[in-house]
Amino acid sequence: MPPPKKVELLPGELRSWLHDELKARGFGDYVGLAEALNFRLEEEGLELRIGKSALHNYGQEYEQFAKLQEEAGAWAQQWMSENDLSDEAEQHRVLFQMMTSVAFKVLKAQMLKEGEEIDPRELHFLGKMMKDVMSSSGIREKLMADERERIAREARAAAQAEMTERFDEAVAEAGLGEATVAKMRRDFLGLRA
């Protein structure tokens, strides 16, 4: 197996920064990018240095990967809107299923290869993409669940306030004593006196 490329030796945080910078620079300005990356490597006390040619090669590969992600996302969005899947959690579920089927095809193709024919970058990018979708889906589902819980809490509070108001009106009309009213609040309504 060939030795790993220098970019692949970057710590995860720096690789994420590199991906963001590649996109921000429009997959260009490799001289400036190499300077910025090597400055960061030096600041972190790492001896690794990466030249503009290595960054250019990696950038071209990553640009293709980013374009495929965008195309897949746009296709999935269009497909879901055509099939009237408006719920965001459902959209993520469908997108994840589609990616799982692609992952299976890639893994199956990789299993048929031997030794140096296997490209670990394909597996890495696919795994990262699936992890990002799963993470995004989980965050959105939690936010949606939190919002549903907040709405339900507010509805319960409004219902209890209305019940208390009606109870107070009924008590006033009936002319009941304070002890009887307190007992009825506790026993029947679960309200505090």
- DSSP assignment of 62-111: HHHHHHHHHHHHHHHHHHHHHTT---HHHHHHHHHHHHHHHHHHHHHHHH
Report if pTM > 0.75: no
**Residue 123 pLDDT more than 80?**
no
pLDDT digits (tens, 9 = 90+) for 132-168: 766 666 666 776 777 788 889 999 999 888 888 888 8
pLDDT digits (tens, 9 = 90+) for 18-56: 999 999 999 999 999 999 999 999 998 989 999 999 999
CB hemisphere CA count around 46 (13 angstroms) = 14
Rounded CA-CA distance 189/126 in Å is 56
**Residue 89 pLDDT more than 80?**
no
Split at pLDDT 50, 70, 90, the class of 92 is: low
